Amino acid sequence: MHILKLKTALNKNPFIKKTLHWLIVPPGEHQPRWWAKNILNPFIHNYQGKIKRKVRRDLFPFQTCEIGKGARVEDFTVLNNGVGALHIGEGSRIGIGNVLIGPIKIGKNCLTAQYIVISGLNHNYQDTTRPILEQGVSTKQVTLKDGCWIGANCTIVAGVTIGKNAVVGAGSVVTKDVPDYAVAVGNPAKVVKILTEKERKIYDFDLSLNQTA
C-alpha cells in the first residue's frame, strides 16, 4: 500500500521521479543498481522464503516482490518484477534455471521443475514501421494455483492460469488456461486428463511409512 502512495506522489513530481529512477537503474540498463537490490529492496519487498545465492535478482523496489514463508528459489533462476509484481506463495519450490517475469502470482506449495519460462510480459508488435524492441510491452498476469506442478522445460505465456493441483507435462508450451486437477501436455498444451473425484488419491507423505517394496 505504501508503494502505491509513493508512486502517486512521484507521478506528481516528474523531476524527482526521473532522479530516483536514475539512482535505482543505470541509464539503458534493465537491472537495478547494487545498492537498490541489496539495501533498498529488503526494506520494501517481503522475502520470507529462501532465494539461493546464484539467483539473478532483476528486482526493482517500485514493484511488489513477495516470497512466502518456506518457499525456495533455486540457483540460476531469474526473478524479474520490472513490469509486474511477483508473488511466490508459501512453500512453493522454484527449480533450477527458471525465468520468471511478472506479473506472476504463484500460489501455495506449487512446484516448478527445471528451465521453465513464465512470462506475464509480451512485446507489442503491431506497429510495422518500427522495430519491436521500440514498441513497448503489454502485461497480463500468469497465475499458478495452489499445489500445481509444472514439468521441466515448459513455457507459460501471459494471461494463463494453471489450475489447482494441475500438472503441465515436460516441454509443454501453455497458451490457454489449464483447469483444476487436469494434466495438460504438448505444444500448444492440451488437456489429456482431468482427475475425477473417484480417481483422486490421498498419499501419506511420511516416507518412512511408505516403504512397501
In this structure, the number of other CB atoms found within 10 A of the CB of residue 148 comes to 26
User: How far apart are the C-alpha atoms of 160 and 178, rounded to whole Å?
Assistant: 8
Question: Which of 179, 186 has the CB closer to ligand COA?
Answer: 186
Q: Taking CB under 6 A as the rule, does residue 147 contact ligand COA?
A: no
Partner residues linked to 70 by β-bridges: none
Which of 79, 116, 167, 178 contacts ligand COA by CB under 6 A? Answer: 167
- Binding of ligand COA by 185 (CB under 6 A): yes
The yes or no reply on residue 169 touching ligand COA (CB under 6 A) is yes
186 touches ligand COA (CB under 6 A): yes
Residues 188-207 that bind ligand COA (CB under 6 A): 192
Tell me which of 89, 102, 147, 151 binds ligand COA, using CB under 6 A.
Answer: 151
Region class of 197: left (phi > 0), else alpha (psi between -120 and 50), else beta: alpha
Give the nearest distance from C-beta 178 to ligand COA in angstroms. Answer: 12
Q: What does the block give as the cell for 155?
A: 513455457
Q: Any contact of residue 166 with ligand COA (CB under 6 A)? A: no
| Residue 144 makes contact with ligand COA by CB under 6 A | no
User: Residue type at 182?
Assistant: A
For residues 191 and 206, the answer to whether their CB atoms sit within 8 Å is no
Q: Which residue, 18 or 176, is less far from ligand COA as judged by CB? A: 176
CA 135 to chain CA centroid, Å, is 23
Given the complex with ligand COA, which of 63 and 77 has the nearer CB atom?
77
As a whole number of angstroms, the distance between CA 185 and CA 99 comes to: 20
Q: Is 110 in the site for ligand COA (CB under 6 A)?
A: no
Nine cell digits for residue 88:
511466490
Q: Which residues are catalytic?
A: 123
Q: Are 59 and 46 in contact (CB under 8 A)?
A: no
Cα 30 from Cα 42, distance rounded (Å): 19
Output the smallest distance, CB 129 to ligand COA, in A: 40
Residue 152 in the binding site for ligand COA (CB under 6 A) = yes
Judge residue 142's burial from the number of C-beta atoms within 10 Å of its C-beta, 0-12 exposed, 13-18 middle, 19 or more buried.
buried
State yes or no: residue 113 binds ligand COA (CB under 6 A): yes
The answer to whether 183 contacts ligand COA (rule: CB under 6 A) is yes
List residues binding ligand COA (CB under 6 A).
113, 151-152, 167, 169-171, 183, 185-186, 192
